[in-house]
Chains A and B, each alone.
Chain A
Amino acid sequence: MISEPIEVILAVVLVTIAIATAISFTKVVTKQEIGSERILARSIASLIGDIYSRDFVMNGNLTLREFKNKVGEICTLVWNRTGIWFNVSMYLVYLNGTEIKFYINSTNAARPVGDVVIVTFPVMPGCNNSEIHWYVISYRDPYYKRTIDANHWEGESARFYIVAYSKDGLPVQGGNAQVTLYADATLITTEGAQLINGICKITIDVGIQEGSPAGKYHAFVDYTGPNGENFPTRELWIDLDNGDPVGRAENQMIVNETTLPAYHFYIGDTVYGRSCNRMNLTSIRENITFIGLPETLDDIIYAQGPYNATVENIGDSSTRAHIPIFIFPYTIRIEVIAIAPRG
């Protein structure tokens, strides 16, 4: 029972000391917590960068949607374990320095109020694995043929693209490719070419052949790496349909803004089509369909590496052609926002 003024003063002083103590220690604890959150956010940014570069870009184990889901799972997992809410975004960095931000995913819970820590982490997928990957695609499938007379037929020129790349999606410099073409079992010819910047095109003029028209082209393709590496021969069967073997020629092309045929693009570049207005892009990780041309490569889905572009004029399947393109490496910045609810 407080009965004297002096006792009131004493009580006030003691309470003030207690409050001051509590306040001063709370400040230290908060500072420590922010340091801890910064390390955790940094580790998550790095972890997501690794998942992006290895699983998404280099191995193609994940589609973009699966990658985003994986990021959401990790954010929620860490939230359940630490009570810290995370939000992940990615920035595409163009050659000219422009950046575009894309939201990836966040913790599956309402954004709390609290201290915010923002960590950004640059990512550029790359590896020292010099293993060469290569493939061949036929420009047309099917090619056209026509009967000239009882003993002659004419076939469309066969065109093949040979693409060689390393695990990180970069083009292999050099190496030689060779295509041996048969019409059914009849040898047409063998042609070779050197790969430049990961791609080469080999054209085989079939022209007029004797006998009854073949049913298919049969191609054997070999690639020798820049250091003499040998690989198993690839084999392709391509259908021959009745049609004009000359008229289609090589009209469908992917070109750049100067209208020249192009096979290499950076993120932020625009892909144009010649005699085609739509394409589907296939990579090791996903199929991106119904892309109208021209198309600017300004989406996070366009990761670095080789793509097979199937182009055509809408409504005319005879214009369909397959052309490889490389999207060159670019920088990504991963931003992780960590919010620790306090109050």
Chain B
Amino acid sequence: MLAERLPRSWNVALEQLRRDVNVLRRRAAGHGLPPLVTRGRRPATPDQERTQERSRSTQVRELAIAGVVPEAAGAVTLVLREHDGGAFDFRPGQFFTVLTDVGGEVVTRNYSASNAPGEPELHLTIKTKEGGRVSPLLARLQRGDRLRVRGPFGSFVVDATHDVDVHRPRRLVLVAGGAGITPLASIARSVLAREPTSEIALVYANRRAEDVIFGEALEALAREHGHRLALVHVTGRLDRTRSSHALDALPLASHPHARFFVCGPDGMRDEVLAALAARGVAEDRIAIERFSIGPRPQVATSSAAVAAAVGPGARPVAIRVKDRTHRTTALPGATVLEAGLAAGAPMPFSCAVGGCGACKVKVLEGSVEVEEPNCLTDAERAAGFVLACVGRPCGPCVVEVVDEPGGA
């Protein structure tokens, strides 16, 4: 790139010129600049510390439903508020775990935030799954109801705004399939609003045109940000050929520093990854959200279940983290991660559905049953690793959090 060979002061001047010309172009077309400043992350003031404590904690909390917005294709957006009206702190692309009571059992599902962080509202967009246990219940919720959530979690994120230098803008190519649009919508909204020079291209595939979620909102975003958001809709299956065509149509996708975010059903994801591989995009420029890992088994956290479980079924678990051993008991059905966090062990984790590997632990004694499929490699399995978030102790056991140099 030419820009990288110029002295910094020239780059600053060029960037300023680009911004000036952009303003003049917009104004000539009759468009002004946005009247409001999007409020971003700030260092903690006492008011905000609460928010941050909350976001750090893995505790379940109750949010009020301030609105239910019907979206296309039977999806709904739940508009949630904290009881104190505080702003939600998460990184664009992260998800929240929703806990729902289904016939006395607590069932968890993960939903990505679809709005930008730092707002007093959290938007979770939920696609109703026919015959599903949870989504039809969630779709029936109304304004004034309450929802129990944990989070935010997940590493499918763009970093915080303050890491970005206007002189080195971000170039993101987002590829969404169906309901996989939700984390990408959050990423697009916050990056466009907060980083005046970053650019985004979005490929959005849906089986039918009427399935497009956020159709109007995305169009509005594209109008507002002009050339900074390129939008390509694909109708039908996003196979390898269609992916290649869509990427060819987007100059940003050929930029050597572009980063790719892919979120959608498993089949689509593999096709997109194949198309990217064929274009020679290195893996470290691609982030993937595995969002359909199948129904989660229930977790015993309701008080009735806990009362029933504190008996012979409970399994002693010892967790070693950095030379310290935390001893706890896992109730039947509880995962190693849940048992560990309940005992205050500082265990790393992220997606909490077996998809990211952040909570990998080594089993030193006893045995742990792990839900399949998950993201462990054969080598990791052979070395005795399990995923704490989807691993349940079969009896007394000892596990260790292994620090990996440069690991997650």
A and B: bona fide binding partners? no
Q: Which residues of B contact A (CB under 8 A)?
A: none
